[in-house]
Amino acid sequence: MNNFVVDFLGFRMMVSSLIIRIIYAIGLLGITIYGLQQALGNLLVGLGIIILANLLWRIFCEALILLFGIHQELVKISRNFKS
């Protein structure tokens, strides 16, 4: 069987990094739209949402990508020990 298929089915290859980036973009858009709506009523609250919420969302998504990146590196190390 192809290594790609074996790695994919064995969860040694992760597709989550791409999915997280897509979800980040959707969340960024949603948070920004919500912040703009709130800015119509209260400019300071709207700007706070746009800046702080997007910053926190970015940090959260980066942390997820980092965790999955660590997993991928551990899989590479594991493969090197098996060879």
- Express each pLDDT in 33-79 by its tens digit: 999 999 999 999 999 999 999 999 999 999 999 998 888 888 888 88
Tell me which of 83 and 70 has the higher pLDDT: 70
- How far apart CA 52 and CA 47 sit, in angstroms, is 8
Mean pLDDT of 14-37: 92
Of the candidates 22, 2, 83, 59, the residue with the CA atom closest to the CA atom of residue 75: 83
Q: Is 4 exposed, middle or buried (0-12, 13-18, 19+ CB in 10 A)?
A: exposed
Q: Tell me: pLDDT of 10 over 80.
A: no
